[in-house]
Amino acid sequence: MTFTVDAAAYDRFMGRYSVPLAPRLADFAAIAAGQRVLDVGCGPGALTAELVKRLGADAVSAVDPSEPFVAAAQQRYPGASVQRATAEQLPFADDSFDAALAQLVVHFMADPVAGLREMARVTRTHGVVAACVWDHAGGQGPLGVFWSAARELGSSVEDESQLAGAREGHLGQLLREAGLHRVEETVLSVDVEHPTFDEWWEPFTLGVGPAGAHVAGLDATRQAQLRERCRELLPPAPFVVTARAWAARGHT
């Protein structure tokens, strides 16, 4: 999955959920001052911001394959090192970091085990590799209502439920396959309040990620049907979306 949208669109669509998720993943990975940490698939920098806050920009490196996201993260965190790269081919020497984290990225990797193995390679012995992916399979991620409405209205919907790490236990399995030790799993959860239905819906029309691509592929009538079905399935505004992510951490 390529993300060639601008950072502001990403912020409105997914950043609203990934910003509050970041401190939860950083806590789970026990990120604390004095460490050097790598943010893999940083996007415009939801987790990067949390790492800079905890460690100082000098101690933070980040990579992402998306040009606009790398440009945005470089601009937002000038003291951090942000480069264009994929998880599967990290441009760092062995043992460069105390920890390597991937927030909402494993399910987009071309080869998740290779990506996690690379994260382990650049992490020092006994360091931490941690990742999280929304519970798309259980419908408990932030896009659960959207994909449920989309499936009702169309037979050939490719939702995100089959992707790597999106079902219970799968992230842990992938970490073990990548050679990590003492793997532990948990659920991370965020609550995000939406003041109006339109504030919730409009970012789906910005073309971000698989959901944005799905909307962009519908004609105006089908888009309107999907929008209305979502409105029926959601509680009246204001409403809170509780989004759950599977998380796993392991040691090198």
Ligand X SMILES: C[S@@+](CC[C@H](N)C(=O)[O-])C[C@H]1O[C@@H](n2cnc3c(N)ncnc32)[C@H](O)[C@@H]1O
Label each residue of 5-66 as H, E or C.
CCHHHHHHHHHHHHHHHHHHHHHHCCCCCCCCEEEECCCCCHHHHHHHHHHCHHHEEEEECC
**Site stretch for ligand X (CB under 6 A), options 34-42, 193-201, 226-234, 243-251:** 34-42
Rg (the chain; Cα; Å): 18
User: Other C-beta atoms within 10 Å of 65: how many?
Assistant: 20
Instruction: Please classify residue 232 by burial: count the beta carbons closer than 10 Å to its beta carbon, then call 0-12 exposed, 13-18 middle and 19+ buried.
Output: exposed
Q: Beta-carbon neighbour count of residue 79 at 10 Å?
A: 10
Closer to ligand X by Cβ: residue 65 or 212: 65
Nearest distance in Å: CB 128, ligand X: 17
Asked if 43 touches ligand X (CB under 6 A), the answer is yes
Site string for ligand X, 175-204 (x = CB under 6 A): ------------------------------
If one asks whether residue 29 binds ligand X (CB under 6 A), the answer comes out as no
The residue assigned the tokens 């790490």 is 165
From the list 61-69, 138-146, 191-199, 237-245, the region that binds ligand X by CB under 6 A is: 61-69
CB of 4 to ligand X, least distance (A): 9
> Considering the rule CB under 6 A, would residue 66 count as an interface residue with ligand X?
yes
Binding segment toward ligand X, per CB under 6 A, in 41-49, 136-144, 177-185, 215-223: 41-49
Provide the minimum distance between the beta carbon of 86 and ligand X in the complex, in angstroms, as a whole number.
Answer: 4
Chain positions 78 to 107 lying near ligand X, rule: CB under 6 A, are 86-88, 103-105
What single-letter DSSP state applies at residue 118? H
Burial class of residue 104, CB neighbours in 10 A (0-12, 13-18, 19+): buried
In the numeric block, the tokens 């504030």 are attached to: 199
Using the minimum distance from each CB to ligand X, give the nearer residue, 155 or 166. 166
| Per CB under 6 A, 14 contacts ligand X | yes
Q: Which residue is nearest to ligand X (CB)?
A: 43
Residue 189 phi, psi dihedral angles, 5° rounding: -135, 140
Using the rule CB under 6 A, is 38 a contact of ligand X? Answer: no
Q: Which residues bind ligand X (CB under 6 A)?
A: 1, 3, 14-15, 18, 40-43, 46-47, 64-66, 69, 86-88, 103-105, 108-110, 115
